[in-house]
Amino acid sequence: MARHLLLHIVIFTEEIEVMLDVGIVIRTQNRPLMLERALKNLSEQTLTSWEAVVVNDGGMIEAIDNLCFSIQVPEGCQLRVIHLEDPRGTAYAYNRGLRTLAETKYRVVREDINTWEPDFLEKTTRYLNQRSELKVYGVVTHCSEVKEKYLPNAIRVGKKKPCKTDIARLDAPSLVERNPIHPIAFLFTPLSYDLVGGFDEKLPMFAEWDFYLRYLLRFDIEVMPERLAVIHEQEDAEENSGDALQHNTLAYSLDFLRKRWMQLPPDSAPLAPEVIRRAGEAIQQSIAEASSSKKKSKGLFSFLKRH
């Protein structure tokens, strides 16, 4: 008999009848310090017309409820929590949160580890509002990055610097070779999410990369050259990457993507046949590198950094 995955939904603010500007999904698990920072970061946004859903992906229920209860939610905003009994991964958590949100003009998903500049929501919603007549349904911003070390009761944050994934424009060929989109930096419309089909829950890894590729089959993603999101990276992530990730899961995900993109019909604009072929070759090479015992840790970390 299948287990019930959804334990309960907790609402920490009153229901709001008017349509809000942005619906936000924050995936968390057992990272109370990061979730506390993420919630504080959310409450400091200059735009105060949002609904946020924290998706607890099989983590500590009481600690997460206490953190959400302690946040001062701005007037006109709403916060709720979904508790999942078992960890289901990024794709499921994002989809579950997005489909729980009330009707909003725009949507964004984020992990609890990363943060926004205070005016991220204000500037990205204004950007899409000004381009609504041009049928622009998604925008991604540039990012900053910081290295940080996780201590028992604190996070030691390093100096902020420009992200190396900055781009001037985004197209399918460039996205095939390297994914410059961080979920927290990408604002999109609910309609575009529905038409693309959401995040593929069969993918234990790279569901975001796959979503963006499918997104570009139907819609353009415009780039705002402002650093409005901050990517936080663990200082010793490269050292731990070979031990922390299961390489068979990586190989399965990459092979799944290779088969999907190689099977696309030749007229699947804007992905030309040559681009699809290159995607298959690049993914196949990455599988080989990740499976090599000599390159497991370093090669895997390098690939994950690109995607």
Distance between CA 34 and CA 2 in Å, rounded? 32
Give Cβ neighbours of residue 49 (< 8 Å, ≥ 6 apart).
20, 21, 22, 76, 77
Rounded Cα–Cα distance for residues 304 and 208 (Å): 12
β-partners of residue 224 are 141
Q: Where are the domains of the chain?
A: 6-235, 239-306
pLDDT in tens, the chain (307 residues): 344 456 667 777 777 777 899 999 999 998 899 999 999 999 999 999 999 999 999 999 999 999 999 988 999 899 999 999 999 999 999 999 999 998 999 999 999 999 999 999 999 999 999 998 888 899 999 999 999 888 877 788 888 899 887 888 887 767 777 788 999 999 999 999 999 999 999 988 889 988 998 898 888 899 999 999 999 988 765 544 444 455 677 777 777 777 776 666 555 545 555 655 665 566 566 656 655 644 444 444 455 555 5
Rg (CA), the chain: 19
Neighbours of 38 (CB within 10 A): 27
Top CATH class of 6-235 equals alpha beta
Rounded to two decimals, the pTM is 0.85
Q: Which amino acid is at 149?
A: K
Nearest residue to 84 (alpha-carbon basis) of 75, 94, 74: 94
CB-based contact 41:119 (threshold 8 Å): no
**Residues 47/126, Cβ–Cβ less than 8 Å:** no
Cα dihedral across residues 289, 290, 296, 298: positive or negative? positive
